[in-house]
């Protein structure tokens, strides 16, 4: 935990390095780091050390900046991101890149539940596995997962693409709208209104671009596409059991 400071004290100045500004979370608070990262006058390149599972780190950034976090982070890291490129050299807790609008967030480890939840844009890359509800209510974000994902992923996914290089858990794409899902491995079960779809040339090209953007070497031809059957858009008595 960062040491507390009285109102008359000032935060220690971030250290300078050849690669930009370095913030040590054993010396400054998360609020101070976020304030500096969000500031229009803040650094163009920053590294955060000793995160020790801190919550809400690198949140609310709305400018061009490269942020590297050396270690594990807690809840909602890089949430509400716009324009920034955030790299996490560790695992991420619940809701990484939640409500992201643009930019890039990369996790060099595993992610907990609800990665990329409600996000409208940008690219989230998780090199390891993602837990349950990955991409829940996604609204335009692209998510690429190098490993497996848990149950109820892409639940109510409205727009965007979810790429899974491993296996998917139960109820994939439940109540899906127009988000597109690509899975290389096996799917435990599909959710309501989610079906397997044909992989056409445009989908192979789209997937190749996403894998390239994520720096993942995989053959798009090995993936299966899933999407909405569009039976739940409007109520129909024949579908009542599915609601």
pLDDT of residue 240: 62
Q: How confident is the model at residue 8 (pLDDT cuts 50, 70, 90)?
A: very low
Average pLDDT in the 124-132 region?
Answer: 98
Average pLDDT in the 214-235 region?
Answer: 90
pLDDT in tens, 147-197: 999 999 999 999 999 999 999 999 999 999 999 999 999 999 999 999 999
Average pLDDT in the 123-127 region?
Answer: 98
Say if residues 11 and 29 touch (Cβ distance below 8 Å).
yes
What are residue 69's DSSP bridge partners?
48, 88
pLDDT of residue 6: 35
pLDDT higher than threshold 60 for residue 4: no
The sign of the torsion formed by the CA atoms of 165, 83, 55, 94 equals negative
Nearest of 120, 119, 150, 146 to residue 133 by alpha carbon? 150
List the chain domain ranges: 48-232
Q: Report which DSSP code applies to 231.
A: -
- Radius of gyration of the CA atoms of the chain, in A: 19
The pTM assigned to this predicted structure is 0.89
From residue 41, alpha-carbon distances to 37, 44, 45 in Å are: 9, 9, 12
- Average pLDDT value over all residues in the chain: 91
pLDDT higher than threshold 60 for residue 129: yes
pLDDT higher than threshold 60 for residue 238: yes
What are residue 68's DSSP bridge partners?
47, 87
User: Where does the chain show beta strands of DSSP type E?
Assistant: 15-17, 20-24, 45-49, 66-70, 85-88, 104-107, 123-126, 139-145, 159-164, 180-183, 194-197, 224-228
pLDDT of residue 2: 38
pLDDT in tens, 84-107: 999 999 999 999 999 999 999 999
The sign of the torsion formed by the CA atoms of 167, 172, 128, 106 equals positive
Query: What is the distance between the alpha carbons of residues 7 and 198, in angstroms, rounded to a whole number?
Result: 62
Say if residues 157 and 173 touch (Cβ distance below 8 Å).
yes
pLDDT in tens, 28-69: 999 999 999 999 999 999 999 999 999 999 999 999 999 999
Q: How confident is the model at residue 242 (pLDDT cuts 50, 70, 90)?
A: low
> Which class is 48-232 in CATH?
mainly beta
């Amino acid at each position: 935990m960062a040491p507390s400071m009285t109102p008359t004290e000032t935060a220690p100045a971030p250290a300078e390095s050849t690669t930009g500004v370095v913030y040590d979370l054993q010396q400054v608070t998360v609020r101070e780091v976020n304030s500096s990262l969000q500031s229009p006058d803040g650094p163009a390149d920053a590294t955060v050390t000793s995160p020790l599972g801190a919550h809400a780190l690198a949140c609310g950034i709305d400018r061009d900046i490269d942020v590297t976090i050396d270690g594990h982070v807690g809840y909602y890291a890089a949430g509400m991101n716009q324009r920034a490129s955030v790299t996490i050299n560790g695992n991420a807790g619940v809701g990484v890149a939640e409500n992201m609008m643009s930019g890039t967030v990369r996790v060099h480890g595993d992610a907990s539940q609800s990665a990329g939840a409600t996000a409208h844009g940008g690219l989230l890359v998780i090199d390891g596995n993602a837990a349950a509800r990955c991409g829940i209510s996604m609204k335009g974000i692209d998510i690429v997962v190098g490993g497996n994902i848990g149950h109820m992923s892409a639940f109510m996914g409205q727009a965007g693409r979810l790429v899974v290089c491993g296996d998917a858990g139960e109820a994939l794409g439940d109540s899906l709208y127009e988000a597109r899902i690509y899975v290389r491995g096996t799917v435990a079960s599909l959710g309501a209104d989610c079906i397997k779809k044909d992989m056409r040339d445009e989908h192979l090209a789209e997937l190749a671009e996403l894998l390239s953007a994520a720096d993942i070497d995989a053959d798009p031809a090995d993936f299966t596409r899933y999407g909405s059957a569009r039976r739940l858009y409007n109520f129909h008595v024949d579908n009542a059991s599915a609601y």
